[in-house]
């Protein structure tokens, strides 16, 4: 009986048009999606999973075993050496207005930072908004001090990723710039549009600065950044103390997790969907990027569940080490090019689990025009955003002249409340929003698989 | 100096095109919006404000005084008699599998329900999904029992308001239908897409049923609805006990709160923006509809702040008693028609404070075409939804042949998690999402004020 129903269902689907298939995909995700339960496990049973950590390895093993249960054609691990940085004991910091008169503030070490001396670091603070201002102040004003980068995210931009993009150089290159002028430490305002107590970590670089000259760097919560700034206006002589004992270890072996459905007609054309499996350590990495991983896994499951037999090979890839190295993304592309695997399309979900609004595309004119022609199919699901723009860090290395890369674009208003902080946790995930994202991704993959790329066909 | 800047600013604005004015409006809302602080006060200092309650009167006084501080041309209260229903002591309920073997469940009385007997009500339960099923079961199966309406909201609909619309007759008309077949009480599954412990209240009717024949009605949490349903599958003889001592009192005097900027060119053409000031009592009414009230107040403030001097008269109206009577909306329209006030446009925000997606419009072809022509202006703000559809309960009575009514349409995925429950509280409001809503409303009001209605011009 079940067999007959299945046959009828499949025959019926063949006759249906794209709109009906997409409707089926959304229904399956909202009724029978697995992304939420998977994310519950990944977030609550495993948790934060920084590259090289025990949790990262647990996440690799568990996602591989879940993929094996999905009945894919193949599932495997791709080895990759990753950096291992450990935070150590909780950080501690205060502002000292006068000896013994202190105000504790919330900080966290930036990923990749060196530790402070064992007893901590205390120095005067100089606040700047930009590297230009730093240069103007010069060595005379900066030498021996802690540089405090306090340029806030621009609240007037509608896309909060643009606000982030306008600030994140303070975090990433703050230390390497401050070192030039003799700074002894860096404190950076957290990349957060809300004013609250949470410090937000993230990666930083020392560039070519020798180990002996590196200075400790930490993020301070937005609320405490405002307090520090106010205090500095009253008294420039106040001191800032912070203590952290983070450490960069040797690289360790880790893995990208890969699953595949082989294409029935064009098995040598690959369509990739993925997210990154590693996360920062302060929360459980639910939005960044557990969501992208479970949505990507569910894309393959929802295709099956909706009776779709892909013509092309569909791969889900959970990349390791996006946050502090991008080693997984680079390794995957390196291997793909080495093997001559033709990746016609890659989609990454790495912008949170909020209500999906559409996609960014890296595509030529023909391909983009074809994709735009599908826009009407997404209208019933309130998916309206199809624009040219950056796709995703992990898939970036896969770009060729002809292929198309894409990034899911969810609503961005809440993302930086949680990003890289202790509030990036499962309770801040909304089940339906996550499922709508998975369905939207599946619908796009379905169309790309069915029609292939326009440029490839025409060229 | 301030005067000169203001003049320059105003001259400059006149030269700006619509896109620039709208950009200014959004910036002002995100940088200097007052909606979030106002809502903080309304929610946390006043709180839930059911019609006729002390809190409702506090809300009337406070919003009037805030409007007076805004420098509007006039602010006044419009008297309206409203129903007063009181919940009384917290409700209590359990499922009894056998004498003494009970499971407590979470319920709340529906607004307008009568109380149970003082000692509570205990009876067998009959579960139904629809009034049709109720009719088929008939008096033989229902007499003396509690009717349990358990049709869930449809999770496959993208617009959760449509799912709500497909279920809410169980809550509103459940009692009046069950009474026909001799039921002694009604338990209705909460209108909530999430499975959790929160009962969601809401209005209900007894129609023409005499007071002596009315039966107590309550909502049960979705999780407990599932438990009750499972238990009934195992044993149809289980009993349900509930106790509530809610009461309908005599009508009392309350008020709509109204503020106005008089139009400089067409003062007799009125543009209304509003929400409803009353709320259910379980939460603090932040989403429903504190948000709509503070956004509407901020529309007039943001117009001023953005240097716009309206040609037409702009009114903010905070309606009393949307939840359980709509007396405020009816009274306002009655007075408007009596005085011959020409309301060319009315906009209501009563669908939550989530990221705005667009508007529904009740409009004729000409007017709708004009509004559609403005769509491109909203694109930078990711506002994409301009569709014909219902506007808002409070403004509905203002509809005429020629005018246009509109309802703000925010993202709907999270709304029914909170709606009418104890989780409709300020901490579930997102500042930027609220402010984006206020800006989007202001931009539309700006365009309507500047261009008037198309139909009116052409007719």
Model pLDDT for residues B157-206, shown as the tens digit of each residue: 999 999 999 999 999 999 999 999 999 999 999 999 999 999 999 999 99
Strands B101-105 and B312-319 come out as unpaired
Question: What is the rounded (10 degree) CA torsion for B131, B134, B139, B144?
Answer: -100
B40 part of contact set with chain A, CB < 8 Å: no
User: Are B194 and A380 an interchain contact pair (Cβ–Cβ within 8 Å)?
Assistant: no
Q: What pLDDT was estimated at residue A340?
A: 97
- Using a CB-CB distance cutoff of 8 angstroms, which residues of chain A are in contact with residue B159? 382
Same domain for A114 and A69: no
- Using a CB-CB distance cutoff of 8 angstroms, which residues of chain B are in contact with residue A355? 355, 411, 413
* Nearest Cβ partner for A156 among B31, B158, B357: B31
- Using a CB-CB distance cutoff of 8 angstroms, which residues of chain A are in contact with residue B416? none
Q: Are B392 and B359 in contact (CB under 8 A)?
A: no
B371 part of contact set with chain A, CB < 8 Å: no
Closest residue of chain B to A25, computed from CA coordinates: B156
d(CA A343, CA A272) in angstroms, rounded, equals 7
Q: Are A344 and A270 in contact (CB under 8 A)?
A: yes
Mean of pLDDT values over B48-74: 98
Q: Are B217 and B204 in contact (CB under 8 A)?
A: yes
Q: Is the pLDDT of residue A457 over 60?
A: no
Min distance B432 CA to chain A CA atoms (Å): 7
Mean of pLDDT values over A13-29: 85
CATH number at residue A421: 3.40.630.10
Closest residue of chain A to B380, computed from CA coordinates: A158
- Using a CB-CB distance cutoff of 8 angstroms, which residues of chain A are in contact with residue B193? 432
Q: Is the pLDDT of residue A15 over 50?
A: no
* Nearest Cβ partner for B30 among A26, A155, A385: A155
Closest residue of chain A to B357, computed from CA coordinates: A382
Same domain for B309 and B218: no
**Domain boundary at B221, B245, B269, which?**
B245
Strands B266-276 and B342-348 come out as parallel
Q: Is the pLDDT of residue B76 over 50?
A: yes
Q: Report how far apart, in Å, the C-alpha atoms of B33 and of each of B28, B329, B419 are.
A: 6, 27, 25
> Residue B14 CA to chain centroid, in angstroms?
36
Q: What pLDDT was estimated at residue A456?
A: 59
Q: B88: how many CB neighbours lie within 10 A of its CB?
A: 12
Q: What pLDDT was estimated at residue B290?
A: 98
Give the mutation candidate from A32, A357, A382, A415 for the B interface (greatest B CB count, under 10 A). A382
Q: Is B138 left (phi over 0), alpha (psi -120 to 50) or beta?
A: left
Mean of pLDDT values over B391-418: 97
CATH number at residue B134: 3.50.30.30
- Using a CB-CB distance cutoff of 8 angstroms, which residues of chain B are in contact with residue A193? 432
Same domain for A393 and A254: yes
d(CA A118, CA B296) in angstroms, rounded, equals 55
d(CA B373, CA B350) in angstroms, rounded, equals 25
d(CA A94, CA B57) in angstroms, rounded, equals 46
For tokens 């070519």, what's the residue?
A208
Q: What are the backbone angles phi and psi of residue A437, rounded to the nearest 5°? A: -60, -45
B433 part of contact set with chain A, CB < 8 Å: yes
User: Are B155 and A26 an interchain contact pair (Cβ–Cβ within 8 Å)?
Assistant: no
B-contacting residues of A 381-410, CB under 8 Å? 381-382, 384-385
Mean of pLDDT values over A202-229: 98
B158 part of contact set with chain A, CB < 8 Å: yes
Same domain for B238 and B267: no
Give the mutation candidate from B192, B351, B382 for the A interface (greatest A CB count, under 10 A). B382
- Using a CB-CB distance cutoff of 8 angstroms, which residues of chain B are in contact with residue A159? 382
Q: What pLDDT was estimated at residue A455?
A: 77
Same domain for A97 and A41: no
- Using a CB-CB distance cutoff of 8 angstroms, which residues of chain A are in contact with residue B385? 382, 384
Question: DSSP secondary-structure letter at A239?
Answer: E
User: Are A31 and B384 an interchain contact pair (Cβ–Cβ within 8 Å)?
Assistant: no
Could you tell me which residue, A36 or B7, shows the higher pLDDT? Answer: A36
pLDDT in tens, A91-127: 999 999 999 999 999 999 999 999 999 999 999 999 9
Q: Is the pLDDT of residue A2 over 60?
A: no
pLDDT in tens, B23-59: 999 999 999 999 999 999 999 999 999 999 999 999 9
- Indicate the SS3 state at residue A75: strand
CA-based max dimension of chain B: 83
- The closest of A49, A193, A168, A196 to A110, measured between CA atoms, is A168
Give the mutation candidate from B23, B24, B26, B156 for the A interface (greatest A CB count, under 10 A). B156
Mean of pLDDT values over B53-67: 98
Min distance A138 CA to chain B CA atoms (Å): 32
Specify which residues B16 forms β-bridges with: none
User: Are A431 and B26 an interchain contact pair (Cβ–Cβ within 8 Å)?
Assistant: no
Q: Are A286 and A26 in contact (CB under 8 A)?
A: no
Same domain for A417 and A365: yes
Mean of pLDDT values over B214-239: 98
- The closest of B36, B5, B59, B24 to B318, measured between CA atoms, is B59
B357 part of contact set with chain A, CB < 8 Å: yes
- If you count residue pairs, one on A and one on B, with CB atoms under 8 Å apart, how many are there? 57
Q: Is the pLDDT of residue A384 over 90?
A: yes
B-contacting residues of A 2-31, CB under 8 Å? 26-27, 30-31
B376 part of contact set with chain A, CB < 8 Å: no
Mean of pLDDT values over A428-455: 97
Mean of pLDDT values over A50-60: 98
- Using a CB-CB distance cutoff of 8 angstroms, which residues of chain B are in contact with residue A381? 158
pLDDT in tens, B112-168: 999 999 999 999 999 999 999 999 999 999 999 999 999 999 999 999 999 999 999
Q: Is the pLDDT of residue B428 over 80?
A: yes
Same domain for A199 and A301: no
Mean of pLDDT values over B81-85: 98
Q: What pLDDT was estimated at residue A14?
A: 42
Give the mutation candidate from B32, B384, B418 for the A interface (greatest A CB count, under 10 A). B384
Q: Are B198 and B192 in contact (CB under 8 A)?
A: yes
Q: What pLDDT was estimated at residue B455?
A: 77
**Domain boundary at A227, A245, A263, which?**
A245
- Using a CB-CB distance cutoff of 8 angstroms, which residues of chain A are in contact with residue B30? 155-156
Q: What pLDDT was estimated at residue B52?
A: 98
pLDDT in tens, B350-370: 999 999 999 999 999 999 999
Q: What pLDDT was estimated at residue A223?
A: 98
Min distance B35 CA to chain A CA atoms (Å): 15
Both tokens of residue A365?
């004119």
**pLDDT grade for B11, boundaries at 50, 70 and 90:** very low
What mean pLDDT, rounded, does chain B reach?
95
pTM more than 0.90: yes
A158 part of contact set with chain B, CB < 8 Å: yes
Q: What pLDDT was estimated at residue A336?
A: 98
Q: What pLDDT was estimated at residue A173?
A: 98
> Residue B336 CA to chain centroid, in angstroms?
22
* Nearest Cβ partner for A30 among B155, B194, B436: B155
Same domain for A105 and A27: no
Same domain for A189 and A76: no
**pLDDT grade for B16, boundaries at 50, 70 and 90:** low
Specify which residues A393 forms β-bridges with: none
A-contacting residues of B 161-200, CB under 8 Å? 193-194
Mean of pLDDT values over A147-165: 98
Element (H, E) at A83: strand A74-86
Q: Is the pLDDT of residue A403 over 60?
A: yes
* Nearest Cβ partner for A193 among B158, B193, B432: B432
* Nearest Cβ partner for A411 among B193, B194, B355: B355
Q: Is the pLDDT of residue A458 over 50?
A: no
Interface predicted TM-score (ipTM) over 0.85: yes
A155 part of contact set with chain B, CB < 8 Å: yes
Min distance A258 CA to chain B CA atoms (Å): 30
Number of domains in chain B: 2
**pLDDT grade for B456, boundaries at 50, 70 and 90:** low
Report the percentage of chain A scoring pLDDT > 70: 96
Q: Are B287 and B416 in contact (CB under 8 A)?
A: no
Both tokens of residue A47?
């948790």
**pLDDT grade for B267, boundaries at 50, 70 and 90:** very high
Report the percentage of chain B scoring pLDDT > 90: 95
Domain that residue A144 falls in: 88-245
Same domain for B99 and B80: no
Closest residue of chain B to A358, computed from CA coordinates: B382
B124 part of contact set with chain A, CB < 8 Å: no
- Indicate the SS3 state at residue B181: coil
Same domain for A365 and A236: no
SS (H, E, C) B9-74: HHHHHHHCCHHHHHHHHHHHHHHHCCHHHHHHHHHHHHCCCCCCCHHHHHHHHHHHHHHHHCCCCE
Same domain for B373 and B274: yes
**Domain boundary at A198, A224, A245, which?**
A245
User: Are B26 and A381 an interchain contact pair (Cβ–Cβ within 8 Å)?
Assistant: no
Contacts of B84 (CB under 8 A, 6+ apart): B51, B52, B53, B248, B249, B250, B251, B252
Q: Is the pLDDT of residue A436 over 50?
A: yes
Q: What pLDDT was estimated at residue B12?
A: 45
B-contacting residues of A 277-306, CB under 8 Å? none
Both tokens of residue A236?
């420039």
């Amino acid at each position: 009986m079940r067999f007959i129903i299945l046959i009828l269902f499949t025959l019926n689907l063949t006759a249906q048009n794209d709109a009906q298939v997409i409707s089926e995909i959304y229904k399956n995700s909202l009724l029978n999606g697995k992304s939420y339960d998977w994310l519950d496990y990944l977030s609550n049973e495993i948790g934060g999973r920084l590259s090289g950590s025990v949790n990262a390895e647990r996440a690799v093993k568990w996602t591989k075993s879940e993929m094996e249960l999905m009945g894919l054609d193949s599932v495997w691990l791709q080895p990759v050496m990753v950096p291992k940085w450990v935070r150590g004991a909780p950080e501690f910091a205060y502002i000292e207005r006068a000896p013994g008169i202190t105000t504790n503030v919330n900080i966290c070490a930036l990923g990749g930072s060196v530790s402070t001396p064992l007893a901590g670091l205390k120095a005067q603070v100089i606040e700047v908004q930009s590297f230009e201002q730093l240069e103007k102040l010069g060595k005379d004003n900066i030498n021996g001090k802690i540089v405090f980068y306090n340029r806030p995210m621009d609240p007037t931009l509608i896309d909060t990723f643009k606000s982030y993009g306008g600030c994140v150089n303070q975090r990433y290159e703050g230390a390497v710039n401050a070192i030039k002028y003799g700074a002894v430490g860096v404190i950076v305002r957290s990349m957060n549009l809300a004013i609250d107590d949470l410090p937000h970590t993230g990666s930083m670089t020392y560039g070519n600065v020798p180990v002996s000259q590196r200075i400790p760097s930490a993020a301070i919560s937005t609320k405490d950044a405002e307090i520090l700034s106010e205090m500095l206006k009253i008294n420039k002589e106040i001191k800032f103390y912070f203590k952290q004992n983070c450490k960069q270890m040797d690289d360790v072996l880790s893995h990208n997790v890969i699953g595949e459905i082989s294409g029935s007609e064009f098995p040598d054309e690959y369509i990739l969907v993925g997210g990154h499996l590693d996360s920062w350590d302060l929360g459980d990495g639910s939005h960044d990027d557990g969501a992208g991983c479970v949505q990507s896994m569910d894309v393959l499951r929802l295709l099956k569940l909706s009776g779709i037999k892909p013509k092309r090979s569909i791969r889900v890839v959970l990349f390791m080490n996006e946050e502090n190295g991008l080693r997984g993304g680079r390794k995957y592309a390196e291997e793909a090019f080495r093997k001559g695997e033709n990746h016609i399309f890659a989609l990454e979900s790495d912008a949170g689990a909020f209500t999906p609004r559409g996609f960014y595309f890296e595509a030529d004119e023909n391909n983009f025009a074809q994709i735009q022609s599908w826009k009407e199919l997404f209208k019933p699901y309130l998916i309206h955003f199809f624009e040219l723009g950056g796709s995703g860090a992990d898939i970036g290395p896969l770009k060729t002249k002809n292929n198309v890369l894409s990034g899911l674009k969810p609503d961005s208003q809440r993302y930086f409340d949680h990003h890289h902080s202790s509030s990036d946790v499962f309770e801040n995930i909304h089940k339906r929003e996550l499922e709508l994202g998975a369905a939207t991704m599946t619908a796009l993959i379905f169309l790309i698989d069915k029609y292939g790329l326009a440029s490839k066909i025409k060229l």
